[in-house]
Amino acid sequence: MDAAPAEPGSRLASALAARLERIDGESIGAELQAGHSARACDLLAELSAVQTDLRERTLGMPFQALSRIREELARVRRATTSAEVIASAPAALCAACGFDRAMISSLRGSTWLPATLHVEVDTDSAVNAAFRDFIQDVRIALTSSMPEAELVRRKAPALIQNAQSETRAFRPLIEVSQTREYVVAPIIAGGSVVGYLHADTYSSGRRLTGDDRDRIQIFADGLGLILERTVLLERLALQRERIGKAFYAARTMTEGLSAAPVQLVRQNIPATESRPPVSLPSMLAASAPRLPDGLTPREREVLALLASGATNAQIADRLTVSETTVKSHVKHILRKLHASNRAEAIARYLYLARSQDRAL
């Protein structure tokens, strides 16, 4: 199978190292012994230039890696849904950190659920096809000995070397993927581990190092923040949609009520039947629900008026008493109904009214 191309920084470093091997101290010494001082000076100048270039490249490589991670995370951040973020993350991880394969998984309780696998090279090989098919419906129950379970406890990445002989790993996944070593990092959102990122260099055979472990964690940290932001935006959009639907339903209902025609209905009352005039207190007493014993007739009238939404001033006007008297009645009502405020007393009154209607 074809080997994956090395990272640009790695290729330059290898080329510079090869030049250093060619320009070694023995070559310079040989030129000096042969009397070729000018050639020896040229070799010394070239050696100094190569050493300087190699030092600059070596020091700059970590910053180049961080720049690639930032660029790929910026692409992932353009996704509008959490599903799009999850689907694009493995490919972005491979591009940012030079991995051949990357997999993103979710974590639900103590169950590990592989979600998406990206293969950078040899996508149609038998191994990668089997790997892709295997994760479609697999559900992995985490045990305390698994490296992935340790990630949940420590919230730190891990480099698993000699994966084929690693007894703590989930053996079916290791066997079907044929990975020799891999790095894994937790995805943290809202302070909790919500998933994993796994990656390896299966096709190229490049050995993984602590730098790979650190880089996948940097990417996972950024991905967790992106996921958290995207999910919050999705929830906000859903809440806005629900509020919009509620307002639309309320407006439709009120428009229907306002558009309904007003009709005056006359009830035919037999001439022989006479009705005595009914005062407001007697109407309230006739329609009021049965309240606990202990309330005076006047307190019952006050409570009924309270339930209708009347203020103290309105109650005083209707009953032809002072507001001070009304406040005194209200105080006695609250005490007798064991209510802490007017709203609680009204709620109990309405509850009794509904109960009485159902009984009828």
Encode pLDDT of 88-135 as tens digits. Answer: 999 999 999 999 999 999 999 899 999 999 999 889 899 999 999 999
Helix axes 297-307, 323-336, angle to 10 degrees: 90
Among 159, 120, 114, CA closest to 140 = 114
Checking if the pLDDT of 278 tops 70, the result is no
Mean pLDDT of 199-226: 94
CB neighbours of 30 closer than 8 A, spacing ≥ 6? none
Predicted local confidence at residue 62, as pLDDT: 59
- Compute the Cα dihedral for 210, 212, 215, 216 and give only its sign: negative
Checking if the pLDDT of 197 tops 90, the result is yes
Predicted local confidence at residue 33, as pLDDT: 66
Share of the chain above pLDDT 90, in %: 43
What is the overall mean pLDDT for the chain?
Answer: 80
Mean pLDDT of 264-270: 56
Encode pLDDT of 34-79 as tens digits. Answer: 666 776 677 667 767 766 666 656 555 556 788 899 999 999 999 9
Encode pLDDT of 336-345 as tens digits. Answer: 888 888 888 8
Residue 186's SS3 state is: strand
Tokens of 235: 């929830």
Residue 166's SS3 state is: coil
Predicted local confidence at residue 176, as pLDDT: 95
pTM, rounded to two decimals: 0.56
Encode pLDDT of 144-166 as tens digits. Answer: 899 999 999 999 999 999 999 99
Checking if the pLDDT of 294 tops 70, the result is yes
Separation of alpha carbons 258 and 32, rounded Å: 107
Q: Is 25 left (phi over 0), alpha (psi -120 to 50) or beta?
A: alpha
Encode pLDDT of 4-22 as tens digits. Answer: 344 444 555 555 556 555 5
